Amino acid sequence: MAKEGADMTEETEYMIGKNVGKETENVESSCDAKEMRAVVLAGFGGLNKLRVTKKAMPEPQDGEVKIRVKACGLNFLDLMVRQGTLDNPPKPPLVPGFECSGIVESVGENTTGFEIGDRVMAFVNYNAWAEVVCTPVDFVYKMPEEMTFAEAAAFSLNFVAAYMMLFEVANLREGMSVLVHSAGGGVGQAVAQLCSTVPNVTVFGVASCFKHAAIRDSVTHLFDRNVDYIQEVKKISPEGVDIVLDCLCGENTAKGLTLLRPLGTYILYGASNMVTGETKSFFSFAKSWWQVEKVNPIKLYEENKVIAGFSLLNLLFKHGKCSLVKSVMDKLLCLYDQKKIKPVVDSLWALEEVKEAMQRIHDRGNIGKLILDVEKSPTPLMASDSTETSEAGEEEEEPEGDNDSKERMPFIH
Amino acid sequence: MAKEGADMTEETEYMIGKNVGKETENVESSCDAKEMRAVVLAGFGGLNKLRVTKKAMPEPQDGEVKIRVKACGLNFLDLMVRQGTLDNPPKPPLVPGFECSGIVESVGENTTGFEIGDRVMAFVNYNAWAEVVCTPVDFVYKMPEEMTFAEAAAFSLNFVAAYMMLFEVANLREGMSVLVHSAGGGVGQAVAQLCSTVPNVTVFGVASCFKHAAIRDSVTHLFDRNVDYIQEVKKISPEGVDIVLDCLCGENTAKGLTLLRPLGTYILYGASNMVTGETKSFFSFAKSWWQVEKVNPIKLYEENKVIAGFSLLNLLFKHGKCSLVKSVMDKLLCLYDQKKIKPVVDSLWALEEVKEAMQRIHDRGNIGKLILDVEKSPTPLMASDSTETSEAGEEEEEPEGDNDSKERMPFIH
């Protein structure tokens, strides 16, 4: 999409506390800037593959909108992109990120419906983690007036995915029951809120213990990730549940199917168990893939069960379902206006803090959504860590868990 | 359910043209009869395992309705029962049959909602192919006044299954497209009619060539069973279809999944390819079972697809969904009253003609539903066949196709 200089990407990592502030100033002072800051993934692997660099300013093509980005959403999918486990990723170096919010800076030819200055949220097929992005008009939606940019960046993927799974794939209705893994995550919280818009829906949530206090009110029953949730659910609802939403894959698939009531729907919408802490990610992934229990259709027939897969990214960027997504977004914005739903933001991070943000989502430390706030300055490194800077970036085999030495305090929303 | 004499079943086969007429008279002349005629399956296997015998008259237990049967539905499932390929069948000897229509003759204690003389249709967990059945009140529905008994026996299983698959499992909506195998069968015709109640639904049907003239108007596009329907559908609709209804299983599962559009639903509602013409049915079945391609949930995730199994019998008799089925039946009877749907009856057969009827459904010769008409006298054997009677019943290995010698002309509706 970039008009020029795409290959001129400067690999200058913006060092924390050095020239970041100045650069931000420069970019913001001029819309005619030829460059912008972006998070770049240099190759598939660990956190050390990420850095903030200058890239050529993109310009909108036919049917595209150019957006001055204010906030970007960070998803578990981005970890899969980084490790190279997502299906058919583009070749690195690449700018990750699938969603953002911001202000329309210009529009390409044959682009109607948006004007310069419009506050928008958008899906982007990569490239969202930057100061400026261009994306086809079909993936851009106007923000409600009272919505903040952080909320908007937390809204699109999570709520659209949750809505489509509950109402397009599974047909949630009054009196049904739903089990959601990662109940504290962005999708989990969106699922809980959307379930509360239907009368008498029981939500069973699974989440790490330390999140329970924060999210207890959002679900009907909450279980610790480390207990046998199958048994716990069956104690409360012996006949099982109507909908299982699983973003983990692996052995949870078979468990999830066991829990389904007749005519129930199991939906796999992620495979976060395939993201490991090791850099030998491809092999871990391949191993996990083959370990996933395959399903015999005749068993589904005998048990009257439904199994579905749901990938919003593929739906948008491969399967051409943007008009369906648009209609879903319209319904969601109605619910937002009626104050029935509201995105939960976990924390805001500067672009330069993307590694720490990724570590937090990897460790499942978040409650709600992690946001990259493009205008935010990085929190200064803590004193004890100031001697270490970016050298870890040169290590080829940096395990995820070894990154603590550079940890900053996130801005908890 | 039988009050007495269940073990006294007489193995006297009612010989065509001999004493059948007399017996029918006897039974009908008295409601106090201690016996009734029924089709009995002596053991799993070929057609020779079926005969019409006297059995003890059943009496309604608590919560049951006793029905004087007028007509019974014959389904592909009954062939699976006969061959012993249905999941967990009761031990033979057994009376097959899962649906019937008739007149309420008495009700058990604690049975409300029905009175003697009510015209009803009912699901039965086996035992339908008899002059009298008892079944729990939850499975009994009052017939509309203008519905014939044959229509009623053709209505329940096919329309309830078709409706639930289209609207409960798959969420059929305006503008969608549906592929149905066996478009000429009872379920296929119900599917076609129900699709026509939703605006702008495209129905792709697959059926044997000789049925095309009869059913062409019921579907949008019709393909010969022997052509590569995948290619044909893709010529018309390159992006595939929204719903695939498959009662064949086997290699059709993989094909069906290929044809699905994103967010599309493949529903397996039968496994008729597992019914073979051979008596070594268990091994054929086991072979087919293992050959069914298993589905990797991650593939569904990447492709945004849904795979479902649907077995109405299990839903009713194992999974306790009779109140849901009741609500579906109410909706269907509304559509019938509005003349939007009407069961298609292929042919009527006497109980004694059950073998010929089964052969017809095995050969996929039917257009719409085969009905056992309890009050019908068997069509006399054709002259050339009169020397052969029931001796074939003694052969252990009677291939389905060898039964022609006893063929009668069915009463085509």
For residue range B239-271, list pLDDT tens digits in order: 999 999 998 766 677 888 899 999 999 999 976
Lowest mean pLDDT, pick from A72-76, A146-150, B76-80, B312-316: B76-80
B55 vs B36: CA distance, rounded Å = 5
Q: What are phi and psi of A388, to 5 degrees?
A: -95, 130
| Cβ–Cβ under 8 Å, residues B268 and A300 | yes
| Cβ–Cβ under 8 Å, residues B111 and B134 | no
Chain B: residue whose CA lies nearest to A86: B302
SS3 at position B79: helix
**Which run of H or E residues covers position A336?**
helix A322-337
Q: What is the pTM of this model?
A: 0.83
Q: Look at the domain B156-343 and name its fold.
A: Rossmann fold (3.40.50)
Give the per-residue pLDDT at B288.
55
Residue A330, token pair as written in the block? 């319209």
B132 vs B58: CA distance, rounded Å = 7
B195 vs B173: CA distance, rounded Å = 9
| Cβ–Cβ under 8 Å, residues B172 and B311 | no
pLDDT reading at A288 higher than 70: no
Shortest Cα distance, chain A CAs vs residue B265, angstroms: 8
Q: Which residues of B touch A297 (CB under 8 A)?
A: 249, 253, 268, 292, 294-295, 307, 309
Beta strands in B269-314 (DSSP E): 306-309
pLDDT reading at A181 higher than 50: yes
Alpha-helical (H) ranges within B138-211 are 149-163, 186-195
In this structure, the strands spanning A306-309 and A260-268 are parallel
Mean pLDDT within B149-154: 97
Domain with CATH 3.40.50.720 in chain A: 156-343
* A275-279 own/partner pairs: CB under 8 Å, 24+ apart: A275/A76, A275/A79, A275/A80, A275/A83, A275/A85, A275/A362, A276/A83, A277/A362, A277/A399, A277/A400, A277/A401, A278/A399, A278/A400, A279/A45, A279/A46, A279/A83, A279/A396, A279/A397, A279/A398, A279/A399
Give the per-residue pLDDT at A218.
92
Chain A: residue whose CA lies nearest to B285: A298
Q: Any chain A CB within 8 A of the CB of B321?
A: yes
Give the per-residue pLDDT at A408.
47
Confidence of residue A289 (pLDDT cuts 50, 70, 90): low
| Cβ–Cβ under 8 Å, residues A209 and A229 | no
Beta strands in B116-259 (DSSP E): 119-123, 132-136, 140-142, 177-180, 202-207, 221-224, 241-246
ipTM of the complex as predicted: 0.82
Q: Which CATH number among 3.40.50.300, 3.40.50.1000, 1.10.490.10, 3.90.180.10 corresponds to the domain A35-150?
A: 3.90.180.10
Chain B: residue whose CA lies nearest to A270: B301
Q: Any chain B CB within 8 A of the CB of A61?
A: no
Dump pLDDT digits (tens) for A385-410.
433 333 333 333 444 444 434 444 44
Q: Any chain A CB within 8 A of the CB of B110?
A: no
Domain with CATH 3.90.180.10 in chain B: 35-150
Amino acid at A344: V
Instruction: Choose the closest CB to B289 out of A289, A298, A309.
Output: A298
- How many Cβ atoms from other residues are within 10 Å of residue B231's Cβ? 9
A198 vs A105: CA distance, rounded Å = 39
The residue with greater pLDDT, A407 or A98, is A98
* Partner residues linked to A38 by β-bridges: A53, A130
Q: Any chain B CB within 8 A of the CB of A383?
A: no
Amino acid at A311: S
pLDDT reading at B60 higher than 70: yes
SS3 at position B50: strand
